[in-house]
Amino acid sequence: MTPTPPRVALFVTCLVDMIRPQIGFAAIRALEAAGCEVVVPDAQTCCGQPALNSGDRDTAADLAKRAIAMLEPFDHVVIPSGSCAATVRVHYPEILEHDAEWGPRAIALAARTFEILAYLDEVRGWKPEGVALDATGTYHDSCSGLRELGIKRQPRRLLAAVEGLSLAPLAGAETCCGFGGTFCVKYPAISNAIVAEKATAIDATGADLLLAGDLGCLMNMAGKLNREGSKVRAFHAVELLAGMGDGPAIGEEA
């Protein structure tokens, strides 16, 4: 007997929604291949992370409650971003800690919410089958996923299953790229100095592809690489896993 597939809500994140819808569609493809029933809740907007990190706790709490109410009916919630997933998993329970009604609901939702690469690897035990790409990639560990959710081995295990893809080690792979949400526009000069070093390190790997699990970081790094004339192309890891690594990279026209 086949077990009932989990009903998974895909929360696409505002950046994926606006800048790179392919990541959302790749996520659906990978989740379905991993045996999930995928639903995209219609009322989703943004998880509230910019408000939380700017100090506007009331707005963050309000958006958290909306997200919780919207996402509660699902077996699992999957998000193609370490930092948005960490907002739900780690920060919703903190923000609503003293709320007798919403606090427990936040904790319950947090336990069912996952970053997509961790979900595919750890929860579903999935590996891409028949996906091939002849290229050398290098992986940047985005900070929230790495430090708040422990995402390190999962993407590498998944990417190792892509035929023909080899991974080149990135010096300082765990060093922040300088995006930091609103940080990059509040302190552009510091952010630039940080991402400039990151771009140099990426170029030094000799890889064709830059891979990561967060579109914010990817936009920052890819935007710098492009400005500097680098040929390295950037993708969200899930795009490769879904067999979409032969499509246009971030910043390439379809």
Return the residue of 25, 123, 152, 173 that touches another protein, per CB under 8 A: 25
Candidate list 4, 169, 189, 231; residue touching another protein; CB under 8 A: 189
In contact, 60 and 95? CB cutoff 8 Å? yes
The answer to whether 30 touches 242, Cβ cutoff 8 Å, is yes
Q: Does residue 1 touch another protein according to CB under 8 A?
A: no
Interface of this chain with another protein, residues 102 to 141, rule: CB under 8 A:
none
* Total length of the chain: 254
The Cα–Cα gap between 164 and 133 comes to: 5
Instruction: Indicate which single residue of 8, 34, 36, 52 sits in contact with another protein (rule: CB under 8 A).
Output: 52
Angle, helices 215-227 vs 188-204, to 10°: value is 80
Q: Which of 176, 237, 238, 240 binds another protein (CB under 8 A)?
A: 176
50 or 103: whose CB is closer to another protein? 50
Residue closer to another protein, measured from CB, 15 or 158: 15
Closer to another protein at the Cβ: 108 or 193? 193
Of 141-160, which residues contact another protein (CB under 8 A)? Answer: 143-144, 146-148
Say whether residue 190 binds another protein (CB under 8 A): yes
- Run of H or E including 212: strand 209-212
Centre a 10 Å sphere on the Cβ of residue 102 and count the other Cβ atoms it contains. 20
Q: How far apart are CA 87 and CA 154, in angstroms?
A: 19
CA distance 250 to 90: 29
The Cβ of residue 253 has, within 10 Å, a number of other Cβ atoms equal to 4
Residue 75 has phi, psi (to 5 degrees) of: -65, -45
Q: Which stretch binds another protein (CB under 8 A): 49-57, 97-105, 118-126, 151-159?
A: 49-57
61 binds another protein (CB under 8 A): no
* Among residues 7, 40, 111, 246, the one that binds another protein under rule CB under 8 A: 40
Kindly list the distances between the CA atom of residue 157 and the CA atoms of 162, 213, 237, 244, in Å, as whole numbers in the listed order: 10, 14, 11, 18
Shortest approach of another protein to residue 150 CB, angstroms?
12
- CB closer to another protein out of 21 and 104: 21
162 near another protein (CB under 8 A): no
The correct pick among 5, 35, 50, 103 for binding another protein (CB under 8 A) is 50
